[in-house]
Amino acid sequence: MSEQIRLTKGLDIPISGAASQTIAKTVLADVIAIKPTNFRALVPKLVVKEGDLVLAGDPLFVDKNHPQVCFCSPCSGSVEAIVRGDKRKLLEVRVKADSEVKYRKAKPLSLSSASKEQIASFLMQMGLWPMIMQRPYGIIANAEDAPKSIFISAMNTAPLAADLDFALKGRFIDVQAGVDTLAKLTEGGVHFSMNYFTSPSSEFRKLRSVIFHDFEGKHPAGNVGIQINHISPINKGEVVWTVDLLSVATIGKAVREGIYDASRLVAVTGPAAVNPSYVKAYQGSPISAFSDFFTKKENLRFISGNVLTGEKVGLDGYMDFFDDQISILNEGDYYETFGWCKPFRCKKFSFSHSYWSWLIGNGKKYKMDTNVNGGARAFVVSDVYSKVLPMDIYPVHLLKACIAGDLEKMENLGIYEVLPEDFALCEFVDPSKNNIQQIISDGIDLMLKEMA
């Protein structure tokens, strides 16, 4: 019997450009990139050099502090470029892909006889351990820790997010194998959260070895951090691990077949996308490989991920490690005369009902762009954040503690429970136009630096 949890706070942003449930094409790009910058607090150490030949699943770099944790190539080919930034910081490892992917094969793992240590070692060697994230701080899990429990979210409520049931259709056996693997890494059980309205018809309702939770509510109900807060909040000294559902399937396939298969269905979405739909691609694919979905290159913003938390990567950029969505929007580089005081504006969405567009009804979708409709202002104290953040914390107080660098207040106000993604809606509705996700990110970095 599953637990039902109803959330009354949140916001589903009515943006147009959802992907239709069709697979438009399969993409194997010429060059694929893995970015160490996708991982907080990671110090990468290269194990390849330009020109080296690699198979899918061969290590490209490792964690300098934990050399057994490998980051592997999603495809076979040759290392084309090692991209560095300021102070020789490693930004990307680019692999020129073969026309057909060849895999490094390992012996499949026998879960019935494998110990926790053997499972962890297998996942590290296969490049799968970086898919297991730790709360607090949102860093790669430490295999030496004993997590209180492991959390998996099978619902994605972010704007225009990929439908996980569609994206993983036919891969139930991989997901089950992944769940069975994770269940042996903790004594606290695997918590599996689903959408209350769609869970009865979902194939994942048949999973074994999980504790089901049904969530009802608007975004960010699908965020695993929100779910943890309502199921088993994190206290100081406690550690929980989280794994996204696509990674669970990847882990399961590796356990069953002994290969690192980084292919996935990617939802190409957004108001500026042409015929938004799904594409079969590989982790780290370039944005240029999806050129069929936009008719122009200028004045567009290309985002790896969703419009709230994704990274602006540009046409020459690459998808981030965990992403299964690309969002394409028009740049909002224009000004509106007296825009703030024109109440009609039926083509603009307003959370505060400042425009008359809210009278049209809930079903309308808006062709949103990147215009922030105003400039930065003083940090206004109001209750607007608490209307979209369904967590038992005081968001304004936590943000101010992060700005002030007050570690004790940050601890007391819930910094262990949150990641920047949990505050994305607060940033969207913020009348002061603050970079709220960056404030939380800076606060977490400070905690890591001072509490290490």
Q: If residue 410 lies in a helix (H) or strand (E), which one and from where to where?
A: helix 407-412
**Mean pLDDT of the chain, nearest integer:** 94
Q: Please give the chain's pLDDT, 452 residues, in tens.
A: 578 999 999 999 999 999 999 999 999 899 999 999 999 999 999 999 999 999 999 999 999 999 999 999 999 999 999 999 999 999 999 999 999 999 999 999 999 999 999 999 999 999 999 999 999 999 999 999 999 999 999 999 999 999 999 999 999 999 999 999 999 999 999 999 999 999 999 999 999 999 999 999 999 999 999 999 999 999 999 999 999 999 999 999 999 999 999 999 999 999 999 999 999 999 999 999 999 999 888 899 999 999 999 999 999 999 999 999 999 999 988 777 666 666 667 778 888 777 766 667 677 899 999 988 777 788 878 889 999 999 999 999 999 999 999 999 999 999 999 999 999 999 999 988 899 999 999 999 999 999 86
Amino acid at 447: M
The residue assigned the tokens 């490690």 is 321
Domains, the chain, in order of start with CATH, read: 3-28+113-257 (3.40.50), 385-451 (no CATH)
Distance, first Cα to last Cα, the chain: 40
**Residues contacting 452, CB < 8 A, separation 6+:** none
Integer-rounded Cα radius of gyration of the chain: 22
Nearest to 264 by CA among 343, 321, 207: 321
Contact 220, 390 (CB under 8 A): yes
pLDDT at 350: 80
Taking only the tens place, the pLDDT of each residue in 245-260 is 999 999 999 999 999 9
pLDDT at 348: 82
Max Cα–Cα distance, the chain, nearest Å: 70
pTM: 0.95
CA-CA distance, 160 to 177, in Å (whole number)? 28
